Amino acid sequence: MPRPRVVFLTSLAMIAFAGNSLLGRAALRETTIDAASYTAIRLISGALMLALLVSLKRGNPLKSGNWLSALALFAYAAGFSFAYIDLHTGIGALLLFGAVQATMISHGIWSGERLNQIQTVGFVLAFGGLVGLLLPGLTAPPLFASALMLSAGVAWGIYSLRGKRINDPLRATAGNFIRASIIGIMLILALFNHAAVDGAGFLLAVCSGALTSGIGYSIWYAVVPALKSTHAATVQLSVPVIATLGGIAFLGESLTLRFVLASMATLGGIALVIIEKKANSS
């Protein structure tokens, strides 16, 4: 794949990932849709889009994926939605991304990988950035919503780890989205008395599911083989930054010194771990 195309598609995928945070925050802040309905509509829309993309390749999404991965996917989507009721876009993206990377790095350590001094400093720095963001204070994000987003990040990290050895990630993701949609419908039924869906909220949920999730993931899977593993990991450091800028530009959110410092510590620390890991393996 030509390098200019790789750069363009990678940038497009990162914008899509950040777009998930923007769409979720906009829907749950600016419309009357409830978090459970947003979760289910997003999952169903993503499932339909991914199933369409798989069928174009003459594949069958129902023959791939599994219920455990689908449960992790649902836990991510539900935690994400309920958390964004109270979190600003950039803070939510930072907590989500930090938890995803921390989960995957911790799994590597649990599996026998060892961190050198630079990686240890990076891991402690990243963890300290997240703790610093959540410490009590006037600009601290709501603790319960933050815990939900961290849980969503852990769930997405588990989902990612479960899918590392899959030969056809697009078909597997479609199968997992279909299964997760069924759980999403069950969530709506369980909270039916609190359900509320308006036109704008429905449209934002569909866009998140079909476009920034369905098509966004498809673009990412197409470009990942052309990227070095370190580049594929570190490029995702841009997602919280893009989401923050989008929140400021489109949702009128403010930028605090606490968030800037926490972002620098968390993203910088994760970058140290990932880049140093690649350097040691070369």
Structural domain boundaries in the chain: 3-281
Q: Which residues of 89-122 are buried (b: 16+ CB within 10 A; e: fewer)?
A: bbbbbbbbbbbbbbbbbeeeeeeeeebeeebeeb
Confidence of residue 275 (pLDDT cuts 50, 70, 90): confident
Q: What pLDDT was estimated at residue 280?
A: 67
58 has pLDDT over 90: no
For residue 249, the number of C-alpha atoms closer than 13 Å in the C-beta half-sphere is 8
Instruction: Give pLDDT tens digits for 125-176.
Output: 999 999 999 998 878 999 999 999 999 999 999 998 888 778 888 899 999 9
Q: Which regions of the chain does DSSP assign to beta strands (E)?
A: none
Q: Are the C-beta atoms of residues 208 and 23 closer than 8 Å to each other?
A: yes
> What percentage of residues in the chain have a pLDDT greater than 90?
72
Instruction: Give pLDDT tens digits for 89-130.
Output: 999 999 999 999 899 889 888 988 888 899 999 999 999 999
User: CB 144: neighbour CB atoms within 10 A?
Assistant: 11
Instruction: Give pLDDT tens digits for 215-256.
Output: 998 999 888 888 876 677 788 889 999 999 999 999 999 999
| Tokens (6 digits) for 46 | 């993503």
Q: What pLDDT was estimated at residue 59?
A: 80
